[in-house]
Chains A and B, each alone.
Chain A
Amino acid sequence: MMRDFFRVLVVDLATGKGEPVNLEGRATHLGGSGLAALLFERYGDVRKPWNDPEQPLIFAIGPLTGAFPLMSKTVCGFLSPYHNQYAESHAGGRSALALRFADLDALVLRGRAPHPAFLTVASRHLKLGDASYLWGLEVDDAGKLLRRISPGSGHRGILRIGPAGETGSAMAGINVDTYRHFGRLGAGAVMGAKRLKALVIHGDAAFDLPSSSDYPKLFQKIHQQVTATPMMDKYHHLGTPANVAVLNQLQALPVRNLQATHDPAAAGISGERFAEQALLRNMACSGCPLGCIHVGFIREPFLEPDHYLYRQVAYDHEPIFAVGSMLGVTDPFQVLAIIDAAERQGLDVMAAGVALAWATEASATGLISEAETLLPLQFGAAAGYRQAMGHLGRGRNDFYRLLAQGTLGAADQYGGRDFACVLGQEMAGYATGEVFFISQALGFRHSHLDTGGYAYDQQAHPKDAVAAVDFLIQDEQERVLLTSLVSCLFARAVYNRELTVACLSALGYGEAAANLDRIAAGIQAERWRLRLAGGFDPRQVPIPKRFTEVVTGKGRIDPDYLAALQREYSRRIGAWSAMESETETGA
C-alpha cells in the first residue's frame, strides 16, 4: 500500500478487460485531485465531447486514505456534460476505503459497454456483468438488487446512477452507498454514456503497516482530537443544517429563487428543527468516526386506515436550502420528501432544486406554462415539486430535457436569464456576498467547497479585490492539498500543514512530505490548465442580474466590487494557462 508509484486499474468497458498500470508521480501528484488530473492528462482529451466513449471516468484516492481518521473521500475526475470541461466531484461513503482495500490508487473507466452493464472490482476480481435488468430503475431499487447480487457485504462501495444519468442529464450525480454522492457537474451522465449502471468496489485486501510505533501513536492522537475535543462538534451534532438558521439570521439564506435572503418561516427547516422532528440516526463514511451523515425519515399513509410506509433520507444544509428555502418549502418532512424524489432519479439535489426554483418564477411571470412544466409549480407547494423531480430526472418533455442540461440553457430559450441562480452551475446555499458569488462562479468545481469565499464574506474585510482573490487562490491551494490526500474537507482545521507532514512521514512518504508547498501549487496549476485547455474563460462567466439585486445582512451587493473581483480572479486563473508545471514529471 505504501508505494512511491500509483497502482491504477484501467478498464475498457467495451470489452470488459482491465489493465493494471503502475504510474510514476507520487512525489508530484500525491493522489486524489492530483492523481485524477494526471490520469485525465494521460487518458482524456479536452478537445473531444464529454460523452466520447474514450473519455475517462476516474476515481482516485490518496496516500493517507484509510490510514488516518477522516481520510475518507474519493475524487472523481471527468469531462463534465455541464460545460464539456474537466471537472471533479468528491464523495465518501465506503468508496474510498473500498478502493484502498481493492489495492487501487485509482480506477479509470474508458469505453462504452455494448449493453447496460455493471462492473465489480476487488483486489483479485474484475467482472463486467449485464445490467439490462437494472437499466431504468431508480437509485434505491437498483441499490437493493446490487446488494443482493454483489460480493463483499459491509466492505464494499456500491456506486450507481438513476434515470437522470441514463438520460444524459447534466444534473445527474452518482449515488454512493445510498447516502453520499458524486453530486455535482453531471458525473452520473458520464457513467450513463458509458452504459454503466453501477460500479461495485469490494475492498478485500490487507496491507502491512510500518513496524514503528510512530504511526499508531499519531493515529491515536488524531482520533482523540476529532472525537474528544469540541473542534468537530458542529459536524456530528446538528451537522451542516446548523447553517440554515445562521444564514437566515445573517440574511444570507437564498429564499424563493433568491428573491429574498431571509424568511421567518425558514425556522421550520433549521438544523435544530430537523434534529428534533425528523432525525432518525447518524452515519459515517468508512474511516471517519464523526458520523456527520444525518439520516431523517418520512412516513406517509398509503392505505386507509392506518397503513404507513416510511423511507430514510439523508439531509444536509445544501439540499435543505435547494428544495426548502429556495422553493419556499418550510416543513422538514416535505423537504425530505422532495430530496427523496430527486435522489430516486439520481439527480444532484442542489442543481435540481435551484432549477425548479427558476422554473417556478418563470411560471409566475408567464414565461412558461403547464404546457412546459406539466403541473403547476408554486413556491411552497411541495407535492408539485416531488412530481417535477420525476419529470426532470426522466426528461419527460423537451422542457425538462433542456432544463436538465442547466438552468441557463432553459432561460436562453424561454427567457428569465436575469433570475437564473447560476454561478458556473446552480448556486450553493450561501448568499453571503460578492466574494462567494465570484468564488463559486469562477471556482474550479463551481462548488462552495472550492474555497472559503462564504466565510470571507462574513468577516470584516475592506473591498479589496486583490486581497480577496489572494485569499481565494491560497485557500484553494490548501484545499487541493487536502483533496489529494484525500481528506474530507470537514477536517481542514485538523490536518494543518504540520500534521499532514507528520502523517505522510509516518507512512514513509518523506519525499512528498518535504515538498508539500510545491506539490500543492503544482496540482492547483495542473487542474486549472486542464480546465482552461477545455475552453474555460473566467471573464465570460455570467453573473445573472439576480445576484446584483440581492440584499444581504451586509447591505446591497456592490456591482463594482463584484466586477473587480471577477476581473482579478480571471486574471489570476488565466495566468495558469501559460504557466508550465514545475512538477510535471509524473506521466
Chain B
Amino acid sequence: MRSNKTVKVLGAPRMERCIGCHSCSLACARLVHKRLSWDCAGIRVLSSGGLTTGFEARHCLACDPAPCVAACPTGAFTQRRGGGVIVRSRRCIRCGECARACPVDAVYLDHAGEPFTCIHCGRCVAFCPHRCLELEERTLAPVAAETAGAAADDGVAGDHGDGGVVADREGPADTGAGAEVPR
C-alpha cells in the first residue's frame, strides 16, 4: 500500500527578517507547554554572534532518521514519519541523551532535565511579526501497511501528519490546530 500523505514541518526560511522579539519562543512555551519561558520551547532565538549580526532560530530540523531518537534509551523520543520526533514525556528519565545527540542544539533541557523540542505544530508561526517562520508541507515517503499499523498499535493517534505529539500527560488540551496535547 502506498501513502501520499504529507506532514507539516516548521521552517525558519526568513530569519534575516527577525527582530529578536522572542514572540515565537514565548508562544510555544505559553501555548504548548503552559510555561512562561523563552527556553522551554521548541524554538529558541539567539543572536548569531552578538546583536550586530542578526538572529538565528534553534529548532528541530525534522531529521529522518533523527539522532535524538537513536540516542533515547527509553523510547521517550520516537521517530515521526516524515521527520522529527514524537515525544512521550512519561517515558523520559531526564538523561539528556537526546539533547547531546542533536547536532543542531534543538533540544533544550530545563533545570530538571526535561527535554523540550519542536513538535512541528506551527503555533509559533502566527506570532512572528515578520513572517520569518512557516509550516511547510513535506510529502511522506511511501510506507508499508504493516509499519503504519504498528505505529497505530503503539498508541500513537494517526500518523501525526499535522503535528506529531503524543498524548502523554493528563489534562485538558487547548491545542488549536497542530498539536494534540500539551505537555
Residues of A within 8 A of B39 (CB): 101, 155, 204, 206
Closest to B47 in A: A154
B9 at the A interface (CB under 8 A): no
Closest to A207 in B: B36
A467 at the B interface (CB under 8 A): no
B35 at the A interface (CB under 8 A): yes
Using A178-B52, A203-B38 as known contacts, say yes or no to A223 and B23 having CB atoms under 8 A apart: yes
A223 to B129, CA, bound (A): 9
A88 to B130, CA, bound (A): 33
Using A97-B22, A287-B22 as known contacts, say yes or no to A206 and B29 having CB atoms under 8 A apart: yes
A476 to B181, CA, bound (A): 45
Given A206-B35, A206-B39, 17 additional A-B pairs, CB 8 A:
A147-B50, A155-B38, A155-B44, A178-B52, A204-B39, A206-B37, A206-B40, A207-B36, A209-B30, A213-B174, A215-B30, A216-B30, A223-B23, A223-B127, A282-B19, A287-B26, A289-B23
B111 at the A interface (CB under 8 A): yes
Residues of B within 8 A of A296 (CB): none
A291 at the B interface (CB under 8 A): yes
Residues of A within 8 A of B129 (CB): 227, 289-291
Whether B30 pairs with A219 at a CB distance below 8 angstroms is yes
**1/0 per position for A467-497, CB-CB distance to B under 8 A?**
0000000000000000000000000000000
B144 at the A interface (CB under 8 A): no
Residues of A within 8 A of B110 (CB): 206
- List residues of A (484-529) whose CB comes within 8 Å of B's CBs: none
Closest to B17 in A: A281
Closest to B129 in A: A289
B166 at the A interface (CB under 8 A): no
A101 to B47, CA, bound (A): 18
B174 to chain A, nearest CB (A): 5
A288 at the B interface (CB under 8 A): yes
A55 to chain B, nearest CB (A): 31
Interface residues of A (CB under 8 A from B): 1, 66-67, 69, 97, 100-101, 123-124, 143-144, 147, 153-155, 177-179, 203-209, 211, 213, 215-216, 219, 223, 227, 281-291, 293, 312
Using A97-B22, A101-B39 as known contacts, say yes or no to A208 and B34 having CB atoms under 8 A apart: yes
B46 at the A interface (CB under 8 A): yes
Residues of B within 8 A of A143 (CB): 50
Pull 22 A–B residue pairs with CB atoms less than 8 Å apart, ordered by A: A66-B26, A69-B23, A100-B36, A124-B111, A144-B50, A153-B46, A153-B47, A154-B47, A155-B44, A178-B50, A204-B39, A204-B111, A206-B37, A208-B34, A213-B174, A216-B174, A219-B30, A281-B19, A284-B19, A286-B22, A289-B129, A291-B130
Whether B30 pairs with A286 at a CB distance below 8 angstroms is no
B61 to chain A, nearest CB (A): 18
Using A179-B51, A283-B51 as known contacts, say yes or no to A207 and B35 having CB atoms under 8 A apart: yes
A104 to B45, CA, bound (A): 22
Residues of A within 8 A of B30 (CB): 209, 215-216, 219
A473 to B183, CA, bound (A): 48
B21 at the A interface (CB under 8 A): yes
- Residue among B21, B30, B111 facing the most chain A CB atoms (10 A cut-off): B21
B52 to chain A, nearest CB (A): 5
A106 to chain B, nearest CB (A): 18
A281 to B31, CA, bound (A): 29
Q: Which of A123, A211, A213, A288 contacts B21 (CB 8 A)?
A: A288
Residues of A within 8 A of B178 (CB): none
Whether A207 pairs with B37 at a CB distance below 8 angstroms is yes
A578 to B66, CA, bound (A): 69
A144 to B49, CA, bound (A): 9
A121 to B26, CA, bound (A): 22
Residues of A within 8 A of B26 (CB): 66, 287
**1/0 per position for B35-71, CB-CB distance to A under 8 A?**
1111110001111001110100000000000000000
B20 at the A interface (CB under 8 A): yes
Closest to B37 in A: A206
Interface residues of B (CB under 8 A from A): 19-23, 26, 29-31, 34-40, 44-47, 50-52, 54, 110-111, 127, 129-130, 171, 174
A215 to B29, CA, bound (A): 13
- Residue among A144, A147, A153, A209 facing the most chain B CB atoms (10 A cut-off): A209
A100 to B26, CA, bound (A): 13
Whether B51 pairs with A178 at a CB distance below 8 angstroms is yes
B163 to chain A, nearest CB (A): 18
Whether B47 pairs with A287 at a CB distance below 8 angstroms is no
Residues of B within 8 A of A147 (CB): 50
- Residue among B34, B46, B110 facing the most chain A CB atoms (10 A cut-off): B34
- Residue among A1, A211, A227 facing the most chain B CB atoms (10 A cut-off): A227
A287 to B26, CA, bound (A): 8
A9 to chain B, nearest CB (A): 17
Using A101-B37, A223-B23, A289-B21 as known contacts, say yes or no to A154 and B52 having CB atoms under 8 A apart: no
Residues of A within 8 A of B46 (CB): 153-155
Whether B36 pairs with A283 at a CB distance below 8 angstroms is no
A123 to B37, CA, bound (A): 13
Residues of B within 8 A of A69 (CB): 23
Using A153-B46, A216-B174, A219-B30 as known contacts, say yes or no to A209 and B52 having CB atoms under 8 A apart: no
B176 to chain A, nearest CB (A): 10
Residues of A within 8 A of B50 (CB): 143-144, 147, 178
B131 to chain A, nearest CB (A): 11
A290 to B128, CA, bound (A): 10
Closest to B108 in A: A206
Residues of A within 8 A of B29 (CB): 206
A66 to B38, CA, bound (A): 9
Whether B36 pairs with A206 at a CB distance below 8 angstroms is yes
Residues of B within 8 A of A207 (CB): 35-37
Using A155-B38, A223-B127, A285-B21 as known contacts, say yes or no to A205 and B111 having CB atoms under 8 A apart: yes
Closest to B45 in A: A154
Closest to B35 in A: A206
A74 to B52, CA, bound (A): 22
